[in-house]
Structure 1
Amino acid sequence: MSARRIFVALPLPEPVCEALLDTMEGLPGARWQDADDLHVTLRFIGEVDRHQLADVITALETVPFRPFALAIAGVSHFEQRGRARAIWASVSQSAALGGLQQSVEMACRRAGLAAETRRFVPHVTLARLNRASAPIGDWLAANGALAQGPWPVSGFSLFESHLTRAGARYEAIASFP
């Protein structure tokens, strides 16, 4: 069996996805996400073989989970070498979200994965950008007050990322608890 590209995330309810989809316009050259691809990543794992996948699932089954609420509060972007690479909706930070993310991280380490070195920034990616994308300042200003929720979070999922010419397509392969 070949390697599988996986990550742990919180799926979004349909009303939140629809509200986010309503913002996805007015930025020429942006590669907007599809509704099925909107989520809050807790831990990107990357490529694993079937044995590592089984270890990750077993470890994630031990993550303690209590329902909590999340909300969207504004928009921002990631830069690389001074150029915007993605725009995203900000997810309000909470102790419950931070605790879940840390528990998922520890489960991944127990499964033999290296520690994540990037700081956790809770967000929902809305679009990927490239050199041909228009400047983002006007879009950020127009959508800066974006707010949605709160909505109840009742679990998290392990997703597989299928890379295609049209971009990544995500499929939930396990749900927890």
Structure 2
Amino acid sequence: MRCFVAVDLPAEIKRELPAIQQTIAMNGLKLVDPELVHITLKFLGEVPEGRVAEIREALARVRFSPFQARIKGVGAFPGRSIRVIWLGATGSFEELARAVDTALEPFGFERDKRFSAHATLARVKDLSLSRVLSDRISGISDIDLGEFTVDRFVLKKSTLTPRGPIYEDIAEFRASQ
């Protein structure tokens, strides 16, 4: 089972995404379905189904306080040859990702060396578009979609299909009060 740990964006922010995506849309770019846009804390990859319950129990022990987050800015990875276009995310995501890493370490998952809180808007299939995309991104680079409270994270299952991924929530974990 292909799994990852994420923070979902609130509906009011997801409603803003199609307009932003239209600004960058072109052939050679695969836009992420706005309903599926999220902030990945940890990608687990293929997990044996028999281990999912243990992983869920480990994640249930992660303690974190609710925190304010902001979705602001549009940028790209890795640099000159753009492969991913993202929305920036600020808040205590790094601390939460570190706590998730620590909880999952006994299962053999490697710690992420570099964590950058972001929500993927699009993947670039044609690298020759990088220059044009850079110009389009610069026009919306300072966009601010506002704040929300992060008070939960989710273990998700991802099923890849020709039409795109299908995400299914396996378990939700709430902040300690």
Same topology, TM > 0.5: yes
Q: TM-score, normalised by structure 2?
A: 0.89
The 2-side partners of 1:6 and 1:138 are apart by 34
1:102 equivalent in structure 2: 98
Contact 2:81 2:127 in 1 (8 A): no
One-letter code of the match for 2:66? P
SS of aligned partner of 1:24: helix
1:14 equivalent in structure 2: 11
Contact 1:31 1:127 in 2 (8 A): yes
**What is the aligned counterpart of 1:176 among 166, 170, 173?**
173
The 1-side partners of 2:150 and 2:128 are apart by 33
- Within 5 Å, give how 1:148-159 maps onto structure 2: 148-159=145-156
Using the TM superposition, give the Cα deviation of residue 133 of structure 1 relative to its aligned residue in structure 2, in angstroms: 6.8
Using the TM superposition, give the Cα deviation of residue 39 of structure 1 relative to its aligned residue in structure 2, in angstroms: 0.5
Which sections of structure 1, spanning at least 5 residues, go unmatched?
Answer: none
1:39 equivalent in structure 2: 38
**What is the aligned counterpart of 2:125 among 130, 135, 140?**
130
1:86 equivalent in structure 2: 84
Contact 1:36 1:170 in 2 (8 A): no
Question: Which runs of at least 4 in structure 1 moved beyond 3 Å after TM superposition?
Answer: none
Which sections of structure 2, spanning at least 5 residues, go unmatched?
Answer: none
The 2-side partners of 1:78 and 1:33 are apart by 15
| Percent identity over paired residues | 32
Using the TM superposition, give the Cα deviation of residue 35 of structure 1 relative to its aligned residue in structure 2, in angstroms: 2.1
Matching of residue 140 in structure 1 with residue 140 in structure 2: no
SS of aligned partner of 2:105: helix
Change (3 A) 1:67 1:138: same
Using the TM superposition, give the Cα deviation of residue 63 of structure 1 relative to its aligned residue in structure 2, in angstroms: 0.2
Using the TM superposition, give the Cα deviation of residue 19 of structure 1 relative to its aligned residue in structure 2, in angstroms: 1.6
SS of aligned partner of 2:158: strand
1:121 equivalent in structure 2: 116
The 2-side partners of 1:63 and 1:102 are apart by 10
1:71 equivalent in structure 2: 70
SS of aligned partner of 2:147: strand
The 1-side partners of 2:26 and 2:103 are apart by 40
1:59 equivalent in structure 2: 58
Using the TM superposition, give the Cα deviation of residue 20 of structure 1 relative to its aligned residue in structure 2, in angstroms: 2.2
One-letter code of the match for 2:119? V
The 2-side partners of 1:97 and 1:128 are apart by 22
Contact 1:28 1:133 in 2 (8 A): no
SS of aligned partner of 1:136: helix
